Amino acid sequence: MDRRLFRSADGGLTWQPVAEQPQTTAFLMSAANPDVLYAGTGDACAPAVNSAPFLRSTDGGVTWETLPTAAGLIPMLVHPADADKLLAADCALPFASADGGVTWAGKPDESAAQLWTEYRILGMAAATLAGGATPNWDYLYVAGQTDAGDGAIAYSGDEGATWERITPLINPTPQHLRAWAVDRRTAGRLWFVDANGVWATDDFGAMWMLVNAGLDDLTTDAGFAADAVTSLVYVDGHGLYLGSDQGLFVLGDEAEAWQPVDVTAQGDDPDAAPVVNALLALDAAPDSLWVTTDRGVVT
């Protein structure tokens, strides 16, 4: 697999390689300054394994510098209004930096739940456009998972100082979270996929419901094929999109069931849905969705 960094200046129509190193697919770009990127794969959570380097670029990925104090961290979220403010995580804790990753402060869970002693953080997201005109971190969410595969979603209203688990109260607990998404304009509205299907809440987890209607292609005799789901993203005004090895589906804001979306290109077999590997939606292009498939990138 070619892991070089490529960049597009025309909405994904054409791509140019930026740099040979680092060869990674795990990086974050700042919305406040697209020339600022962070990359890091973390570590394997094993004492015998050396911590992977944490890298920063300030010229759009042409050159990179290693940040020694961040070794072993995975970049999770860059503040939408400040390229130097970011969140990262290792096997034990979330961390925050206000100076571009030079220095870090741990964000332990001080509640009785002590979430980070049990759950490893898989990802972070924020309703960045809720709560004011300026993009913010007033509503932060974390997806985590135990070594046994038990999943959890947690919420913070104080930029990570305290956390509250908001996962559905079901038995067994959600297993093997596959994908998740938040509505960046509506606080408390989010979704995640586990072995039961697609869960949805619009009230910070006070009530959850399964929204599986229309996903028959992802349902087998053994139940919902969560492993088939590769990505989930919400596009404001259009709905929730789900990528899978059975193609792309959308659940409109007012819809009661998922609908398939045709992402085949000219010359493709129309009877064989492409495998969707990743989805990307940007605030800068609110009416566009980039879909990476096993046949290329479409929008």
Instruction: Give strand pairing partners of 163.
Output: none
Distance between CA atoms of 150 and 216, rounded to whole angstroms?
25
Residues 254-274: b if buried by 16+ CB within 10 A, e if exposed: eeeebeebebbeeeeeeeebb
Report the pLDDT value the prediction gives residue 23, as an integer from 0 to 100: 65
Record the pTM.
0.88
The per-residue pLDDT for 11 is 66
State residue 46's pLDDT score. Answer: 63
Residue 197, Ramachandran bin (φ over 0: left; ψ between -120 and 50: alpha; else beta): left
Q: Which residues contact 289 (CB under 8 A, 6 or more apart)?
A: 233, 235, 238, 241, 279, 280, 281, 299
Q: Which residues of the chain have pLDDT under 70?
A: 1-3, 11-12, 20-21, 23-25, 44, 46-50, 266-271, 284
Per-residue model confidence (pLDDT) at position 259: 96
Whole-angstrom CA distances from 163 to 46, 90, 198, 262 are 26, 17, 23, 40
Please report the pLDDT score of residue 226 as a whole number.
Answer: 84
Written as six digits, the tokens of 247 are 């193609």
Q: Which pLDDT score is estimated for 75? A: 94
pLDDT at residue 295, as a whole number = 84
Residue 46, classed as helix, strand or coil, is coil
What is the C-alpha to C-alpha distance for residues 85 and 29, in angstroms, rounded to an integer?
A: 12
149 within 8 A of 176, measured Cβ to Cβ: yes
The pLDDT tens digits of the residues spanning 74-106 come to 999 999 999 999 999 998 889 999 999 999 999
Give residue-wise pLDDT tens across range 133-174.
788 999 999 999 998 999 999 999 998 888 999 999 888 889
CA distance 204 to 236: 18
pLDDT the model gives residue 249:
97
